[in-house]
């Protein structure tokens, strides 16, 4: 009661700290800790196609282009 300004600052500091911790935990939990919502997520892969040498010339293959690849041609 003698110092309401200190109490207000302490409450705001605690609220911001708790809010930041909850936000960081939620992001980490959803991105790193939860399993992916796919069957066999360890078998997912990203397919690139190249049009030159080096990583600057890589493109991620779209799904329709991937489906057009011949089945007997190895991907890697």
CA-to-CA separations, 70 to 38, 67, 73, 74, 76, in angstroms, rounded: 25, 8, 6, 9, 13
Please count the structural domains in the chain: 1
Per-residue tens of pLDDT for the chain, all 76 residues: 688 999 999 999 999 999 999 999 999 998 888 888 888 888 887 777 777 776 677 778 888 888 887 777 666 6
- Residue 55: inside a domain: yes
Domain with 22, as residue range(s), is 4-68
- Residue 73: inside a domain: no
- Residue 74: inside a domain: no
- Residue 75: inside a domain: no
- Residue 31: inside a domain: yes
Contact 58, 49 (CB under 8 A): yes
């Amino acid at each position: 009661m003698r110092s309401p300004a200190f109490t207000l600052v302490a409450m705001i500091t605690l609220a911001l700290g708790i809010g930041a911790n909850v936000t960081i935990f939620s992001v980490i939990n959803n991105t790193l800790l939860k399993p992916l919502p796919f069957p066999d997520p360890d078998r997912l892969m990203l397919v690139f196609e190249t049009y030159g040498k080096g990583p600057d010339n890589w493109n991620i293959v779209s799904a329709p282009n991937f489906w057009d690849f011949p089945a007997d041609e190895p991907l890697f």
